Amino acid sequence: MLCFYLAAVWLYLLLFYGLFRGARCLSSVNSKGKTVIITGSNTGIGKSTALELARRGARVILACRNKEKAEAAAFDIRKESGNNQVVFMQLDLASLKSVRSFAETFLKTEPRLDVLINNAGVIGPGHTEDGFGLAFGVNHLGHFLLTNLLLERLRQCGPSRVVTVSALLHRFGNIDFHLLASQKDLVPSQSAWHNFQAYCNSKLCNVLFTRELANQLEGTDVTCYTLHPGVIYTELCRNMSWWLQLLMMPLAKLFFLDPKGGSQTTLYCALQEGIEPLSGRYFSKCALQKVEAKGRDDGLAKKLWELSERLTGLSQQIQN
């Protein structure tokens, strides 16, 4: 029995330290005088990211849907960091109208933007206000529009960065453009399996979006990065069915990172000096990682970008 116990402990340690444990962001960069937007920052790794950047002196904009939770988070962060420059601004990524309203308000009231962190993410059933599948609409399309609306301000304040939180599960993602055109989604139904697949697909969109964004920003002072934050159990799973959450809980307690651990690669991409030549690339455990062929497909990335422009109405703005 003792041997079995010891073997179980060693297996746990091997799995945790070999596969699940994240790295630490060791950058000592001070962010005083800089402004950072973090979407979905009222909880989880977004809140942990906001806290660390506030500690470094940044003006931090919590771009969140839930006003009550976000204002409570801003209060917590101000108190813990000693930085009063932490404010909430309303943003619902499931509404393109809300994204436009947020960008308009921000550009009118904030003179600079140094780092945009596209952190918010959802998994589960449902549709956005505009009729898109929830994961595709929030995780990709909302962030796509937000980034493009704020790009000019990022250029004006360069060197600046766009950091988009993807996931290791992007490897299982696919993009069916015909399905997207007919159903405004990347999966054909709202079953539990298709909800999971929709999340994977949206995370592949994050990787391809970052790749094409880097291509379009080449020669400017704006760089962009995407990342896998680690295996983390956060409120991302709140839209899962209760039985899936029940199954996840024991694994979460044993193996998953806490929000602080999960924020480290985001912080690395936002702060680390010298990674500018790696714009458009994918990171995990505070280090550069290689993505599979579909995540490096420039043709696929450009096609997704052009379709996203049409779906968000950006292509009409460009023409006008």
Cβ neighbours around 72 below 10 Å, total = 14
**Nearest Cα residue to 291 out of 228, 219, 218:** 228
pLDDT of 52: 96
pLDDT of 95: 98
pLDDT of 17: 42
pLDDT of 8: 43
For 180-208, the DSSP string reads HHHHSSSSS--SHHHHHHHHHHHHHHHHH
pLDDT of 63: 98
Burial of 274: CB neighbours in 10 Å, binned 0-12, 13-18, 19+: exposed
281: phi then psi, degrees, rounded to nearest 5: -95, 175
Alpha-carbon distance of 261 to 20, in angstroms, equals 10
199 part of the active site = yes
Per annotation, catalytic residue among 12, 199, 225, 282: 199
Which CATH fold would you assign to the domain 27-315?
Answer: Rossmann fold (3.40.50)
Q: pLDDT tens digits for 191-228?
A: 988 999 999 999 999 999 999 999 999 999 999 999 99
**Which pair of structure tokens corresponds to residue 30?**
């001070």
Local mean pLDDT, 10-residue blocks, the chain (320 residues)? 43 45 80 96 95 97 97 97 98 98 98 98 94 97 98 97 95 94 91 92 98 97 95 54 58 61 93 97 95 94 97 75
Alpha-carbon distance of 287 to 142, in angstroms, equals 27
Residue 224, strand partner residues: 162
Please report, for the chain, the start and end positions of each structural domain, with discontinuous segments joined by +. 27-315
Give the sign of the dihedral formed by CA 263, CA 119, CA 108, CA 158.
positive
pLDDT of 260: 78
**Which pair of structure tokens corresponds to residue 2?**
């003792």
